[in-house]
Structure formats: structure tokens, C-alpha cells
Amino acid sequence: MKNLFFIFLLLLSAHAYAVEPSEMLPDPALEARAREISQNLRCLVCQGQDIDDSQADLAGDLRRLVRARITAGDTDAQVYGFIKARYGDYVLMNPPLEGRTALLWAAPLLALCAGLGIAFLFIRKNGGS
């Protein structure tokens, strides 16, 4: 019972982020914006991690750059634009929905429909038994 309680406490522990206290902005509102932007920017030298979550050097540099841009008065869109101009769409964790990325966004739905279609054919062929 006691063990279970401690396991439960572990579940309550916060997700560990890579942001160093020294990187944080003194203004909590600006810092919150920086955190949100960082969570939408890909760590380019990692596997599927955002820069808020990564301890890679380049991720740290980009986190500081995001904060520098915010402090300089950039809007969120300007910060994204600044990074995107240098690293392309790939740096965004969610690629933008445009004509040429439509298939990418539709792929999971298409795969699901194909799977359902195959399942339907299979069940019907086997007489639903």
C-alpha cells in the first residue's frame, strides 16, 4: 500500500523540461510565450523532440534566440517567421496546411479509411462469423 502511494506520487511529478533557469525571462507573460513557441519548434539535431524539451546545444541556442526576439518586441508570428526563414517548414513541429502538404495531413485519415475498407471486405467475405 505504501509502495503504491509512492508510485502514485511519481505520477504527479512534473515533466522535466530542458530550459535552464538562467535562460528564463523575468516577465512571466513573455516567458510563457517563449515556452509555447519553443514547444512548436523542432530540435533539428534530435529525433522528434521540440527545442523546449531538448538539451542539445543548437536547441539551447534557438531557445535563447526565441527569447531575444520576444524581448525585442516580435510577435509570435514574427518569431516563427524568423526561424522558418533559416530552417524551413521542417523546423515547425506541425507543418503548415497548404496545397502541397494537404496529402500529408490527409494521410492518417486516408489510411484509416483504407483499413476500415479492408476490414469490411474481410468480415463480409468470412460471413461475419
State how far the Cα of 105 lies from the Cα of 122, in Å rounded to an integer: 27
Size of the residue set binding another protein (CB under 8 A):
16
Among 29, 85, 103, 109, binds another protein (CB under 8 A): 85
Count other C-beta atoms under 10 Å from residue 80's C-beta.
19
Q: How far is the CB of 13 from another protein (least distance, A)?
A: 32
State how far the Cα of 119 lies from the Cα of 42, in Å rounded to an integer: 36
Among 58, 74, 76, 92, binds another protein (CB under 8 A): 58
Contact region with another protein (CB under 8 A), list: 2-10, 20-28, 47-55, 118-126 = 118-126
State how far the Cα of 113 lies from the Cα of 17, in Å rounded to an integer: 37
State which of positions 6-25 bind another protein (CB under 8 A).
Answer: none
